[in-house]
Amino acid sequence: MSELKSIVAEFTCRAEPMALATAVRTIGSTYRKPGARLLLDTRGRVAGSLSSGCLEDEVAELARPVIAGGPPILSSFDLRPRFGCNGTIEILIERVTPGNAFLTEAAQMLAARVAWKAVTVFSSSTQPLGSAAWKVGAPPEDEAFVQTLLPPVRVVVIGDGLDNDALIQFAAVLGWDIVLAASPAEIPAPDARTAVVVKAHKFGRDYAALQALLALPVAYVGLMGPARRKQQLLSLLLDDGLLSPNAPLTQLFGPAGIDVGAETPAEIALSIVAEIQAVLAGHAGGSLRDKRGSIHFPTRDLQPVPE
Per-residue pLDDT of the chain (307 residues), as tens digits, is 578 999 999 999 999 999 999 999 988 878 889 999 999 999 998 999 998 778 889 999 999 999 999 999 999 988 776 666 678 899 999 999 999 999 999 999 999 999 999 999 999 888 899 999 988 777 888 899 999 999 999 999 998 877 889 999 999 899 899 999 988 888 888 888 999 999 887 889 899 999 999 888 888 999 998 999 999 999 999 998 888 887 888 899 999 999 999 999 999 999 999 999 999 988 888 777 776 666 555 444 434 333 3
Q: Is residue 169 part of a domain?
A: yes
In a domain, 194, yes or no: yes
Residue 15: strand, helix, or coil: coil
Shared-domain flag, residues 11 and 97: yes
pLDDT of residue 304: 39
Number of structural domains found in the chain: 2
pLDDT of residue 306: 38
Q: Are residues 125 and 161 in the same domain?
A: no
Domain of residue 32 covers: 2-149
Which is it for strands 154-158 and 194-198: parallel, antiparallel or unpaired?
A: parallel
Q: Which CATH number fits the domain that encloses residue 240?
A: 3.40.50.720
Q: Does residue 250 belong to any structural domain of this protein? A: yes
Is residue 174 situated within a structural domain?
yes
Q: Do 238 and 133 reside in the same domain of the chain?
A: no
Same domain, 176 and 283: yes
42 and 135 part of one domain: yes
Distance CA 268, CA 200 (A): 15
User: 161 and 65 in one domain?
Assistant: no
In a domain, 298, yes or no: no
DSSP 67-114: HTTPPPEEEEEE-TTTSS--EEEEEEEEEE-TT-HHHHHHHHHHHHT-
- Residue 130 shares a structural domain with residue 167: no
- Whole-prediction pTM value? 0.83
Would residue 85 count as lying in a domain?
A: yes
What is the β-pairing status of strands 87-96 and 154-158? unpaired
**Is residue 104 domain-shared with residue 135, that is, in the same domain?**
yes
Instruction: Give the pLDDT confidence score for residue 303 in this predicted structure.
Output: 40
Q: Are residues 18 and 138 in the same domain?
A: yes
pLDDT of res. 287: 79
* Pair 224, 167 in one domain: yes
**Helix H or strand E segment including 304:** none
Same domain, 10 and 129: yes
**Is residue 302 a part of any domain in this protein?**
no
Residue 107 and residue 28 in one domain: yes
